[in-house]
Amino acid sequence: MRKIIFLFTLLTTQLFAQENTFLNPILPGGFPDPSICRVGNDFYMVNSSFEYYPGLPIHKSKDLVNWELVGYGLQRKEQCSGQVNIVDVQSDGGIHAPTIRYHDGTFYIITTNVYYNLEKQQTDFVNFIIAAKNIEGPWSDPHVLDGAPGIDPDIFFDDGKVWYAGTHSPDKPNFPGEGEIWLQEIDTKSWKLTGERSYLWRGACGGVWAEGPHIYKKDNRYYLMLAEGGTSFNHAMMIAVSDSIRGPFISNDRNPILTTRNLSYDNWVVSTGHADLIELEDGRWFMVALGVRGDEDRSSNMGRETHLIPVKWEREPFEWKKEKYEWPVCAPLTGKVERFNPLPFANKPQYRNDAFCDNFDSKKLDLEWNFRRVPKEGTYSLTDNVGNMRLYAKPDMIKERGSCSLMGFRQKESEFEYSVRMLFSPKTDESEAGISLFQKDNNYFTFTVIRRNGQSIIQLKLAEPGKTPEILEEKKLDEYRGEIVLKVESKGHQYHFIFSLDNGETFSAFATTKSNYLLSKGYTGAYLGIYCTGNGKQSKEYSDFDWVNYKGYTRLTK
């Protein structure tokens, strides 16, 4: 049966290869805050990961439209404790807005860990750098930069010096939420900030939440690009120029250079921003930026995804200006992120693989799998029953700042099919296992088998922010013999929960709900996963998952 499922996935994987055209987003699923660099003909991209582990997902591409997940910057548990704490980090905390750069044979990622300290009742912003010779790792332990306030740092190499560009709230803000970009040199031998600190720019359109700075050098001028307006509908990209890296920076009169604030809230993608620029070997430029698809209620379960936008540099045409600056123009034909776009490389079409199948036959966990925070020892095993993922029914349940036997991969399309074959024969009451569709610790579905009063019960539970988790449907499984296939079909703005007790030969309908319960209201996107818990009880129970199978359906029109 396992081989049949795998072949079925290969045969039904939806491939998108329209001649001379690619489809946005280029990284579907919750991959926000993209940063990109180029080494020769290869492109590398990193994204925010917030409270998820492993952290800092890294993709590789040769054509800007087909991307392979090749590793993580935070891939070892010892990297994720101490000052860089994602062991018990709060929701929407953790790893924010990284920058990736390559210099003299080494990759660098600079980023922020945001951790709310319950004891001190304060939020700690820890900015740090990791480095690696190979993009797949091993990556170094974090080099924490003391005395670096704010979030979203940039690292910039220029004429033998290494610069840190970060954000902070100025001493005397003109209004709440005003941000300012500051600059200081980094000593990479001691990993300390050194020399004079300069204050560069507060943004172009009010300066509300000026963040995500990146510095570029073109034709001996320095360009400072930043995000402004927050990550919702007013998100926008601004840019300024200077003859000196320490400023003063002159704002582009045509700011913002990318936004959807001038478009309908019902545009196919909204909230575009938090971008990075890349120059190709042939001199062309592109931008990667986040955006939110408007699939459900002007939002989506996937949250903020990565999009690709062509960029053209144009010099100001005004005869009356003594100094005519050159500025990047995003999507020069339309000025907005388009669903369909000309391929960057005409002979390299885009192939969208919207399927994921894991038979758990490998000794290593597939890179697609993530945990909410660093998992505890003994949470799972790929060797205790070879060919299966074993999750242990620890007492821990899904809760804020907690870790439990829950793992998942990113939902990449609004419409999909997700199924799991599970072997689960508990002897302890309240032992529970099955699948979970989750957005946050207070926003999830669980579709599980639970033992109660000596009986096996199938149940669907929904947790919504501000509400007590509610059992939507439950039913006794008198015919249950320890094996079940659980399946969710998302179509027509509804979730259909079904199950099979004969290894997928026949399915029984169980419950139907709306599909907008897991809309991304925070920084991350929804995950599809597997779950096991003792619901507060100590036990030796476990569940074995034989395979998981996911197939997404790309909506070519809204």
Catalytic residues: 33, 211
The residue type of 100 is I
CA distance 370 to 283: 37
CA distance 157 to 212: 17
Q: How many residues does the chain have?
A: 558
The residue type of 483 is E
| C-beta neighbour count of 118 within 10 angstroms | 10
Closest C-alpha to 75, from 45, 95, 99: 95
CA distance 37 to 42: 9
Query: Hunting for tokens 């400072």 — which residue is that?
Result: 224
Assess contact for 10 and 25: CB atoms under 8 A: no
Closest C-alpha to 180, from 209, 222, 220: 209
Q: Which of left, alpha, beta for 460 (phi over 0: left; psi -120 to 50: alpha)?
A: beta
Closest C-alpha to 502, from 482, 516, 524, 488: 482
Assess contact for 57 and 369: CB atoms under 8 A: no
Closest C-alpha to 307, from 34, 10, 13, 18: 34
Burial 85-99 (b: 16+ CB within 10 A, else e): bbbbbbbebbbbbbb
The helix/strand/coil state of 501 is coil
Beta strand pairing status for 68-74 and 55-61? antiparallel
Name residues whose C-beta falls within 8 Å of residue 283's C-beta, 6 or more positions apart in sequence: none
Query: Hunting for tokens 């994921």 — which residue is that?
Result: 356
Closest C-alpha to 154, from 229, 74, 99, 86: 99
Query: Hunting for tokens 């620029």 — which residue is that?
Result: 277
CA distance 408 to 401: 17
Assess contact for 309 and 289: CB atoms under 8 A: yes
CA distance 203 to 178: 9
CA distance 45 to 37: 7
Element (H, E) at 313: strand 304-315
